[in-house]
Amino acid sequence: MTVPKKIPLLDLKAQLDPIREEIHDAMQKVIECGAFINGPEVREFEADIEQYLKSPFAVGVSSGTEALVLSLWALGLKAGEHVVCPAFTYYATAGAIIKAGGVPVFCDIDPKTFNMDPNRLSDILKKSKNPIKVVIAVHLYGQPAEMDSILALGREHHLYVIEDNAQSFGSQYKNQFAGTLGNCGTLSFFPGKNLGAFGDAGMVLTGDKETAQKLRAFRNQGTEPKAKYDHVYLGTNGRLDTLQAAVLKVKLKYVQGWNEKRARHAEGYRERLRDCPTDLPLVPEGNTHVYHQFVLRSRDKPRIVKYLNECGIDSRTYYPKPLHLQTCFRFLDGHLGDYPVSERASKELFAIPCYPELTESDLDYIVDKIKQVLKEKRA
């Protein structure tokens, strides 16, 4: 029996191999210095991000989830206030709202981009009987949501807008980097992200100096730099540690090239799959896509995914259950049918490998297997 080729959804070892020595040297520098908390690499990495993304302020934190929590606190969210987020995204977006003291309000998504639908958002804001303080727009899979409309609704209804940019580092919306358009933009450096650490790490972007100062206090047990033992706020231990900052500082130099390779693979898929009965990712005019995930759509998803995995191709569903149907959110009284576009997306979307180190041979193999399984269906 022929052993199938093995192609993971992401190969972090292949990413690390060419820069292993550089990473090792950066980590060794931290070890020799001994400043494992708030070492100089943290501020250096923040400054590098500010320059790269053209953000006035960047505040390193311990994870993408904590970035959302701290952003909500810094923007003044009070217990019981409502926060709108998409029904179709990772748990952490809504989980962070609850951790920050708020109440999630789910919004359905655009059926083509899978990001928050501004028309649905407008309906929610007009009809809500509860005080809504914040909208969290998630830039899913690698490209920004429709920010002009979302920001306009925020201004109209006097709301803060947070961009959950965990999956779209380096993407742009009308020549402006995702994460720099709203009041705050949150980043995740989870190892599997386009720019990933060696553990959990995150960051908050903001254009407001006072918000940045609050974020720095909240991440450090609520203390401000000149008042170490005066806890001005009820904060938390949400700091970005120095070792992670050192790793990320090295990897940031390569992320542009990695994103460009992802985009080339995506175009390779588009060329090879243009005649196949699957929906390819839509990139609206004005957006750039960094393809954290290359996502296809098919009503025959379960059979396709099963076959691809049998052929050694790691294919997965992001996300198989919308937030309103999650067990932990039952208290919000969500029901099947409440957000039909999100529910359909959870049944039909699946990701295939698109990481930078894929070869043309890998792409040929993946597409060949997709075409085979689709051909079997037609036969």
Show which of 225, 248, 271 is a domain's final residue. Answer: 248
Same domain? For 244 and 372 the reply is no
Q: Which of 112-121, 122-131, 341-350 has the lowest mean pLDDT?
A: 122-131
Whether 326 shows a pLDDT value over 60: the answer reads: yes
Same domain? For 27 and 51 the reply is yes
pLDDT at residue number 149: 98
- What is the rounded distance in angstroms from the CA atom of residue 186 to the CA atom of residue 205? 6
**Any idea what DSSP says for residue 221?**
T
User: Nearest-CA neighbor of 16 among 254, 369, 336?
Assistant: 254
- What is the rounded distance in angstroms from the CA atom of residue 167 to the CA atom of residue 179? 11
> pTM to 2 decimals?
0.96
Same domain? For 195 and 300 the reply is no
- Per-residue pLDDT band at 378 (split at 50, 70, 90): low
pLDDT at residue number 118: 98
Whether 371 shows a pLDDT value over 50: the answer reads: yes
DSSP letters along 265-331, please? HHHHHHHHHTTSSSBPPP--TTB----SSEEEE-TTHHHHHHHHHHTTB--B-S-SS-GGG-GGGGG
The CA distances from residue 250 to 16, 98, 205, in Å, are 11, 34, 20
Same domain? For 132 and 48 the reply is yes
Rg (CA), the chain: 21
- Per-residue pLDDT band at 224 (split at 50, 70, 90): confident
Give residue 366's identity as a one-letter amino acid code.
Answer: I
Better pLDDT: 1 or 106: 106
User: Nearest-CA neighbor of 263 among 194, 191, 166, 196?
Assistant: 194
Total number of residues shown for the chain: 379
The verdict on residue 3 lying in a domain is no
**What's the rounded mean pLDDT across residues 223-227?**
81
The verdict on residue 96 lying in a domain is yes
Same domain? For 124 and 260 the reply is no
- Per-residue pLDDT band at 148 (split at 50, 70, 90): very high
Same domain? For 173 and 309 the reply is no
pLDDT at residue number 379: 47
Show which of 217, 233, 248 is a domain's final residue. Answer: 248
The verdict on residue 4 lying in a domain is no
**What's the rounded mean pLDDT across residues 150-172?**
98
The pLDDT > 90 percentage for the chain reads 95
List the domain range (segments joined by +) for residue 107: 12-248
pLDDT at residue number 3: 58
Same domain? For 208 and 294 the reply is no
Show which of 248, 280, 311 is a domain's final residue. Answer: 248
- State whether residue 75 is helix, strand or coil: coil
pLDDT at residue number 377: 63
E strand segments, 46-180: 57-61, 82-86, 103-107, 132-138, 160-164, 172-173, 176-177
pLDDT at residue number 5: 85
The verdict on residue 294 lying in a domain is yes
**Any idea what DSSP says for residue 180?**
S
pLDDT at residue number 295: 98
E strand segments, 111-261: 132-138, 160-164, 172-173, 176-177, 184-188, 202-206, 223-224, 227-231
pLDDT at residue number 1: 43
pLDDT at residue number 4: 74
**What's the rounded mean pLDDT across residues 107-118?**
98
- The Cα diameter of the chain in Å comes to 72
Same domain? For 203 and 270 the reply is no
**What's the rounded mean pLDDT across residues 133-140?**
98
pLDDT at residue number 228: 78
Taking residue 77's Cβ as centre, other Cβ atoms within 10 Å add up to: 21
Torsions phi, psi of 231, nearest 5?
-85, 95
Same domain? For 289 and 372 the reply is yes
The verdict on residue 301 lying in a domain is yes
Q: How many domains does the chain have?
A: 2
Both tokens of 379, joined, read 């036969």
Both tokens of 242, joined, read 């120095």
Same domain? For 285 and 374 the reply is yes
Whether 375 shows a pLDDT value over 50: the answer reads: yes
pLDDT at residue number 376: 78
- What is the rounded distance in angstroms from the CA atom of residue 220 to the CA atom of residue 241? 11
Q: Chain-wide mean pLDDT for the chain?
A: 96
Same domain? For 335 and 294 the reply is yes
pLDDT tens-digit map of 241-294: 999 999 999 999 999 999 999 999 999 999 999 999 999 999 999 999 999 999
Whether 339 shows a pLDDT value over 70: the answer reads: yes
- Per-residue pLDDT band at 226 (split at 50, 70, 90): confident
**What's the rounded mean pLDDT across residues 192-211?**
98
Same domain? For 226 and 126 the reply is yes
Both tokens of 208, joined, read 């407001």
**What's the rounded mean pLDDT across residues 9-25?**
97
